[in-house]
């Protein structure tokens, strides 16, 4: 017979288990037949219905039994231990179950021969998945074993009713694989470093672990560093002998683990983190303003081969749109501007007959809220005065759409009417209509000197007449 104290403790623990889901698994009780009273003599049972994620392991399942194209939850084994909460959860009895062709366990056995089923006594239990879908079938190594879960039979709903035949859904969650940009910025330019991170699951059942990343031609591959579990821990960096990395003439990068099983055995690793360092090259000047990237994880098992694509990420390239004009707004050809890139290189651009420059991938300065391009005019249009010092051109965000539903924020220097940013030159005979503070200071000093000279001249003449 289950005591009131035991029943209360079990109910609390069961409620917590159902609320928080215990780790990576999800377990919830289906609303079975509820009874308004606690009957210590009523028979109890636990039904396990095995659920799995959908065909793409990174997506959550839809709450249906495990019947997707990856196979049924057949022969997945569970252990059910009856515990004594009044005695440090001492084990009072152990029962075994194995899912059938429908992915369910409806009967429990005293041993793993699964011959003669027995009735479960009322009490507090620990449910454990002892054979995951991988270890049971050898076919699905990306699934993590369902978390251990505590439950009570009968189950107190908290509404003064009890469920004597409880249905639970311990769920396997697929191993994750993802792509991200580590140094995400509002916009990038030629010469900027872009660091990518690929994070995947790993277990000892995987062989021929391979990451394939087809890099955009506008990216130059620099290096790869591989970690297990946590890239912020220096000791988790894999030695060079643990993997090979190569980027071919088509800009396809491959990273292969030397021995995944040994790595897991030696370190207990559950994740592999691959950090890829690239630089945006000059090809960006002739492309569009967005670079997409994803990667593919592939591996073998004893029974099959698998391949999964990560999510797709992207970076945005800054775009400079300017027009060189005279004081009347007429376009000027032959103005040359230079801009320095983050990698120390310098790039020069010259305006044509229309005075316009449209440069995608222009080196830029970006912080968390703004983007600008810093130019120097190295050659002025013929017959015009060269601008000295830095010329800051602010870039504004604009939402663009690709296809029917993909939108992203680009940065360029067009105004609201779509006109390029004007930079004005004057001829030597023209005074600037508006000058900087330096012009004002020099003008003021000149006027003071002239006035001083005039005063001195007057005093000199007065002295001379005396």
How far, in Å, CA of 186 to CA of 289, rounded? 12
Q: Round to whole Å and give the CA distance between 342 and 195.
A: 14
* Weakest-pLDDT range from 196-205, 250-259, 308-317, 424-433: 424-433
Q: Could you tell me which residues are beta bridge partners of residue 90?
A: 84
Rounded Cα gap, residues 130 and 143, in angstroms: 13
HEC string for 341-405: CCCCCEEEEECCCCCEEEEECCCCEECCCCEEEEEEEEECCCCCCCCCCEEEEEEEEEEEEECCC
**Most confident listed range (167-171, 265-269, 372-376):** 372-376
Compute the average pLDDT of residues 109-136.
Answer: 86
Confidence of residue 64 (pLDDT cuts 50, 70, 90): very low
Q: What percent of the chain has pLDDT over 70?
A: 76
Region 371-389: what's the mean pLDDT? 96
Q: What's the pLDDT at 68?
A: 38
Nearest alpha carbon to residue 227 among 198, 194, 189: 198
Q: What is the pLDDT of residue 389?
A: 95
Q: From CA 153, how far away is CA 169, in angstroms rounded?
A: 15
What is the pLDDT at residue 371? 97
Please give the angle made by the CA atoms of 174, 227 and 201, to the nearest 5 degrees: 10
Give the range among 6-15, 172-181, 221-230, 325-334 with minimum mean pLDDT: 6-15
Mean pLDDT (whole number) for 293-313? 85
Q: Which residue has the higher pLDDT, 455 or 241?
A: 241
Higher-confidence position of 434 and 127: 127
Share of the chain above pLDDT 90, in %: 57
Instruction: Evaluate whether 168 touches 29 at the Cβ level (below 8 Å).
Output: yes
In this prediction, residue 174 carries a pLDDT of 60
Between residues 173 and 395, the one the model is more confident about: 395
User: Comparing 420 with 147, which gets the higher pLDDT?
Assistant: 420
Decide which of 131 and 250 is more confident: 250
Which residue in the block uniquely carries the two structure tokens 């830095």? 390
Domains of the chain: 4-174 (2.60.40.10), 177-315 (2.60.40.740), 318-424 (2.60.40.10)
pLDDT of residue 435: 43
The C-alpha atoms of residue 299 and residue 211 are separated, in whole angstroms, by 9
Q: Could you give the CA distance from residue 13 to residue 171 in angstroms, rounded to a whole number?
A: 19
* Rg of the chain taking only CA atoms, in angstroms: 36
Distance, in Å, from the CA atom of 101 to the CA atom of 96, rounded to the nearest integer, reads 17
Rounded Cα distance, 149 and 23, in Å: 10
pLDDT at position 142 = 55
Q: What is the mean pLDDT of residues 408-422?
A: 95
Q: What is the mean pLDDT of residues 19-32?
A: 37
Tokens, residue 318: 């800054």
Any alpha helices (H) in 111-213, and if so which ranges? Answer: 133-137
Pairwise pLDDT comparison (190 vs 30), residue with the higher score: 190
Quote the pTM value: 0.65
Confidence band (pLDDT; 50, 70, 90) for 434?
very low
> What pLDDT score was predicted for residue 454?
59
- Helices then strands, counting H and E runs in the chain, come out as 4, 32
Weakest mean pLDDT among 19-28, 67-76, 141-150, 178-187: 19-28
Query: Would the pLDDT of 43 be above 80?
Result: yes
Residues paired with 357 in a beta bridge: 322
d(CA 105, CA 193): 54
Across 40-49, 105-114, 444-453, least confident range: 444-453
Among 100-104, 153-157, 192-196, the minimum mean pLDDT is found in 100-104
Q: How distant, in Å, are the alpha carbons of 334, 376, 423, 426 from that of 326?
A: 12, 17, 8, 6
Q: CB within 8 A of 172, min separation 6: which ones?
A: 25, 50, 51, 52, 53, 129, 132, 133, 143, 144, 145, 146
pLDDT at residue 211, as a whole number: 97
Phi-psi region of 16 (alpha: psi -120 to 50; beta: other; left: phi over 0): alpha
Q: What is the pLDDT of residue 21?
A: 34
| 34, pLDDT greater than 70 | no
The token pair at 157 is 């709903």
* Confidence (pLDDT) at 59: 32
What is the per-residue pLDDT for 175? 65
The band of 439, judged by pLDDT with boundaries at 50, 70 and 90, is low
Closest CA to 425 of 357, 304, 326, 322: 326
Region 444-452: mean pLDDT is 65
Mean pLDDT over 30-36 rounds to 59
C-beta contacts of 226-230 below 8 A and 24+ residues apart: 226/255, 226/272, 226/273, 226/274, 226/275, 227/272, 227/273, 227/275, 228/202, 228/263, 228/267, 228/269, 228/271, 228/272, 228/273, 229/267, 229/269, 229/270, 229/271, 229/273, 230/273
pLDDT for residue 73 is more than 70: no
Q: What mean pLDDT value characterizes the chain?
A: 82
pLDDT of residue 135: 44
Q: Dump the DSSP string for 95-132.
A: EEEE--TTSEE--BBSSTT--S-BPBPSEEEEEEESS-
CA distances from 222 to 217, 291, 314 (A): 13, 17, 18
Average pLDDT score over residue span 186-212: 92
Bond prior to 154 in cis (omega within 30° of 0): yes
443 compared with 379, residue with greater pLDDT: 379
- For residues 265-275, give the mean pLDDT: 92
pLDDT for residue 115 is more than 70: yes
Beta bridge partners, 408, equal 400
Please say if the pLDDT value at position 358 is more than 70.
yes
- DSSP lists the bridge partners of residue 257 as 243
Residue with more model confidence, 161 or 111 = 111
């Amino acid at each position: 017979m289950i005591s009131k104290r035991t029943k209360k403790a079990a109910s609390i623990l069961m409620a917590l288990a159902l609320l928080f889901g215990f780790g990576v698994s999800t377990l919830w009780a289906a609303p079975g037949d509820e009874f308004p009273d606690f009957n210590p003599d009523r028979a109890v049972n636990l039904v396990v219905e095995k659920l799995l994620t959908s065909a793409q392991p990174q997506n959550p399942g839809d709450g249906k039994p495990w019947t997707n194209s990856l196979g049924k939850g057949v022969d997945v084994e569970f252990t059910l231990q009856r515990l004594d909460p009044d005695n440090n959860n001492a084990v009072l009895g152990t029962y075994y179950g194995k899912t059938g062709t429908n992915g369910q366990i409806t009967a429990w056995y005293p041993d793993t021969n699964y011959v003669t089923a027995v009735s479960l006594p009322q009490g507090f239990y620990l449910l454990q998945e002892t054979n995951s879908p991988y270890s049971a079938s050898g076919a699905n190594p990306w699934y993590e074993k369902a978390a251990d879960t505590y439950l009570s039979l009968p189950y107190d709903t908290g509404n003064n009713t009890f469920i004597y035949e409880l249905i639970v859904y311990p769920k396997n969650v697929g191993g994750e694989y993802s792509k991200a940009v580590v140094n995400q910025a509002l916009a990038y330019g030629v010469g900027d470093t872009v660091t990518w991170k690929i994070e995947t699951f790993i277990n000892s059942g995987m062989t021929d672990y391979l990451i394939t990343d087809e890099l955009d031609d506008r990216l130059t591959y620099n290096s790869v560093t591989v970690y297990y579990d946590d890239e912020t821990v220096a000791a988790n960096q894999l030695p060079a002998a643990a993997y090979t990395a190569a980027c071919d003439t088509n800009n396809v990068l491959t990273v292969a683990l030397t021995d995944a099983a040994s790595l897991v055995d030696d370190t207990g690793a559950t994740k592999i983190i691959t950090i890829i360092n690239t630089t945006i090259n000059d090809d960006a000047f002739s492309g569009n303003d967005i670079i997409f990237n994803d990667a593919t994880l592939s591996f073998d098992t004893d029974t099959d081969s698998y391949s999964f694509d990560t999510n797709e990420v992207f970076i945005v390239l800054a775009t400079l749109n300017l027009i060189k004009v005279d004081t009347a707004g007429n376009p000027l050809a032959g103005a040359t501007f230079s801009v320095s890139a983050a990698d120390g290189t310098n790039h020069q651009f010259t305006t044509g007959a229309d005075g316009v420059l449209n440069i995608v991938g222009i080196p830029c300065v970006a912080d968390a809220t703004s983007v600008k391009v810093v130019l120097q005019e190295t050659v002025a249009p013929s017959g015009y005065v060269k601008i000295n010092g830095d010329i800051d051109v602010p870039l504004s965000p604009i939402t663009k759409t690709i296809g029917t539903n993909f939108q992203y924020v680009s940065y360029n220097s067009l105004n609201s009417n779509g006109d390029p940013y004007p930079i004005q030159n004057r001829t030597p005979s023209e005074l600037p209509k508006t000058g900087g503070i330096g012009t004002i200071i020099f003008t003021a000093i000149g006027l003071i000197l002239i006035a001083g000279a005039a005063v001195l001249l007057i005093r000199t003449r007065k002295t001379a007449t005396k």
